Amino acid sequence: MNIKNWRKQALGCCVVPLLISFASVSQADRGTGDLGVIIERATGSVQVVEHTGGSQLYQIDGLGDLSHASIVFSRDERYAYVFGRDGGLTKVDILSGEIDKRVLQGGNSIGGAISEDGTLVAVSNYEPGGVKIFNAQTLELVADIPAIGANNVQSKVVGLVDAPDNRFVFSLYESDEIWIADVSDPATPQVTKFTGIGRQPYDALITPDGRYYIAGLFGEDGMALVDLWYPEKGVRRILDNYGRGEEKLPVYKMPHLEGWAIAGDYAFVPAVGHNQVIVVDRKNWQQIGSIPVHGQPIFVMARPGGRHMWVNFAYPNNDTLQVIDTESQAIIKTLKPGKAVLHMEFTPKGDKVWASVRDDDQVQIYDTKSFEKLDQLPVEKPSGIFFTNRAHTIGL
């Protein structure tokens, strides 16, 4: 059934249910390993899907402003924690398709993370600037870390990730700082602060092994790196030429650093304001090359195994996906899924990739070997796609 038509018909009924079920499989008959959640950004709803058969299970409404939403999963993969732009933190039971708990914890939040042991959920906030930490089971507030930097300004928090040893790492936009919060004792987080890291960190990532935290800089070229094995060494500047450069080229959308592709000894990084993917040697974090691509890259994502990376692009070239061979560093396939390809997600072993095509109200599914489109699902204004295998990956 077409979801959009169903909604129009439902509006004429006396009662519109909060939960729409698309499948009759009982909770007892299903595991969670092939499930996922898709953000419907315009309607404050999500869809629960399964990627083995490519089917839609539930649609769940009432999640607030999802215009910049992200998701993390509980360790058992049963619960999805949805971080909304309106400050909402929602715990969704993806087996039953119901909201388990929901709190409005801030005025403007942009993401979050779950701790190594799965007991704590942290939310990064623009308003009020800071990080709030919640009990993952009850969503009760455990700790509040105001992001007041050395300049005595309460800053927006960006680039929040989980790190080994029950730590959260994040950056302060207005204060030019990186903080590491050790939450081994959740009631009294121990915070290590690095100041003067470079102007206006706007996003960050942690490498898949959990060792390096890297913040991109909006106010100047370059990046800031912290070795989490040896934080006492402080912050190291890398890729000094990475950014908009002296020409201050037009940037249609800043790339997402969590979309870096890590393959072997190399990192493949979306350029800022350039139609390029930057090639970086992970041994010394120096640029060793670049790959011309269709537009300004947003996500550069490695297929599991690292042989290929898939790239999407900012407006006005956001109708395109390109596939790059990481060995030859050549483009081997260009696809045209449709208007506004916002996000991609690989199945756990990489046999398929799902792509959200926002302006066509579709999620499309591709075979990653043949590059053939296998199916498309009706999803209203889809953005982020999140599969439950993320529960076991550092930084996701």
Sign of CA dihedral 332, 336, 340, 342: negative
Does an H or E element contain 310, and which?
A: strand 308-313
**Tokens describing residue 343:** 């996000």
For residue 308, the model assigns a pLDDT of 96
287 φ/ψ angles, rounded to the nearest 5 degrees: -70, 135
Q: What single string gives the DSSP state of each residue in 210-232?
A: S-EEEEEESSSSSEEEEETT-GG
Domain that residue 214 falls in: 110-238
The rounded distance, in Å, linking the Cα atoms of 107 and 153 is 18
Cα three-residue angle 384-389-391, rounded to 5 degrees:
90
Cβ neighbour number for residue 329 with a 10 Å cutoff? 15
Over the stretch 219-237, which tens digit does the pLDDT of each residue have? 999 999 999 999 999 999 9
pLDDT of amino acid 14: 40
**Considering the domain boundaries, does residue 51 fall inside one?**
no
Tokens of residue 136, six digits: 């993952």
pLDDT of residue 24: 46
Nearest of 27, 114, 26 to residue 70 by alpha carbon = 114
CA pseudo-torsion sign 155, 206, 120, 187: negative
Q: What is the domain-level CATH number for residue 190? A: 2.130.10.10
**For the chain, percent of residues with pLDDT exceeding 70:** 92
Residues 168, 132 contacting (CB under 8 angstroms): no
Model confidence at 243, pLDDT cuts 50, 70, 90, reads confident
DSSP result, 166-184: TEEEEEETTTTEEEEEE-S
Interval 322-360: pLDDT, tens: 999 999 999 999 999 999 999 999 999 999 999 999 999
Segment 239-261 mean pLDDT: 77
Banded model confidence at residue 247, pLDDT cuts 50, 70, 90: low
pLDDT band at residue 241 under the 50/70/90 scheme: confident
Name the average pLDDT for the chain: 91
Is pLDDT at 4 greater than 50 in this prediction?
A: no
Q: Which residue has the higher pLDDT, 144 or 255?
A: 144
pLDDT tens digits, one per residue of 82-136:
999 999 999 999 999 999 999 999 999 989 999 999 999 999 999 999 999 999 9
User: What is the reported pLDDT for 26?
Assistant: 55
Is pLDDT of 8 > 50? no
For the cut 70, the answer to whether the pLDDT of residue 218 exceeds it is yes
- The confidence score (pLDDT) of residue 252 equals 74
CA distance 376 to 341: 13
Give the pLDDT score at 88: 97
Q: Residue type at 307? A: R
Structure confidence at residue 254 (pLDDT): 79
- State in Å, rounded, how far the first CA of the chain is from the last one: 33
Confidence label for 310 from pLDDT (cuts 50, 70 and 90): very high
> Could you report the per-residue pLDDT of 36-53, keeping only the tens digit for each?
999 999 999 999 999 999
State pLDDT tens for residues 253-300: 778 887 788 888 899 999 988 899 999 999 999 999 999 999 999 999
Count of domains forming the chain: 1
Strands (E), 53-166: 55-60, 70-73, 79-83, 88-93, 98-104, 108-114, 120-127, 130-135, 141-146, 157-163
Position 27 scores a pLDDT of 60
- pLDDT band per the 50, 70, 90 thresholds, residue 7: very low
Binned at pLDDT 50, 70 and 90, residue 22 comes out as very low
Residue 234: inside a domain, yes or no?
yes
Q: Which residues pair with 101 in a beta bridge?
A: 91
Q: Find the mean pLDDT for residues 365-389.
A: 98
